Amino acid sequence: MSKLSKSPLRVARQALAVATQALPLYAHKFSPKKFTQPQLFACLVLKTFLKTDYRGVQEHLRDHSDLRTALALERLPHFTTLQKASRRLLRLPKARRVFTTTVRRFLKRRRRVKRSAMDSTGLDLGQASRYYVRRRRGDTKQWQTVAYSRFAKLEAVFDCATHLMLAALAGRGPRPDIDRFVPLLDATLAHVFVAVALADAGYDSEANHRHAREVRGVRSFMPATIGRPSAKPPAGKYRRRMRQRLDKDYGRYGQRWQAESGFSMFKRRLGSAVAARSYWSQCRELLLKATTYNIMLLYVITGFLQSNSCKVFRRPSFLKP
């Protein structure tokens, strides 16, 4: 069975349920009340899932009555309404609230994850073709490999058992990862406790180990390879332990590649590029992609568990046509 849902109807229903739990119906008591905030957020998730723009998702809603029924839409939202809603609903506090809701709905009563893996990935800016990028420069006749000096960067923590994204931070690269370990770990522990944190050599630091093990009570594993190559053991207590015992604990650290699998699923289904231009709009798009990824994973896992337990799924009242 596929890990991520490929049904826009199921994704729309799950997105509406998540947004209804995380957001109030209206932003203000004097709002026009033509559409609820959960309905608009579900439309934004549908736009990301279909890899289209605001005009495109409007046409999808116009052509498919099942999607309108699932979202309880009595009228079609204008594409400018969706664009303005993205600015309002994807601000950092609301975006984090919805993202946290997807994690809690997935884990249900469980608040502890046995093993997590963290990593970061870059996404292209725009939709320039590979042929356009990989061309010879006229002056040096050298092959050009990139057409920009910066890229959108997504930092994430994955549950090794389910590929659920436990935390997501958006930014811009290139930049080092060594100072991003603490924010990622703290963002994860804000709503779920992880027993083991696995990271690659880019996060290697004695201060990161001390923060994880002594301050947060999390066992951290990362290769101690930062610095000049030397036969001497590292000076720090935990980095020296990593040098001595990481190979013996490879059965535990070997699960770090689950982060690579998670990013592979993310890019294959939601694309490896962002269309936004400015920095903050790129951050909003990345957070929306991360939330959509969890919603696609959430429906498949919950549907699979319900089918195994032989329970009949009943839609909540706010989802019934």
State phi, psi for 289 to the nearest 5 degrees.
Answer: -60, -40
Is residue 121 classed as helix, strand or coil in its secondary structure?
strand
Query: If you average pLDDT over residues 52-80, what whole number do you get?
Result: 94
Q: Is the confidence at residue 226, as pLDDT, over 90?
A: no
Q: Where are the domains of the chain?
A: 8-92+301-319, 108-287
pTM of the predicted structure, to 2 decimals: 0.86
Cβ contact 246:224 at 8 Å: yes
Residue 304, pLDDT > 50, answer: no
Closest C-alpha to 118, from 210, 214, 211, 194 = 194
Model confidence at 66: pLDDT above 90: yes
CB-CB neighbours of 93 under 10 Å: 6
Residues 185-218: tens digit of each pLDDT: 999 999 999 999 999 999 999 999 999 999 999 9
Confidence of residue 302 (pLDDT cuts 50, 70, 90): low
- Which of 23-37, 94-108, 141-155, 162-176 bottoms out in mean pLDDT, i.e. has the lowest? 141-155
Please report the pLDDT score of residue 212 as a whole number. Answer: 95
**Residues with Cβ within 8 Å of residue 268, at least 6 apart in sequence:** none
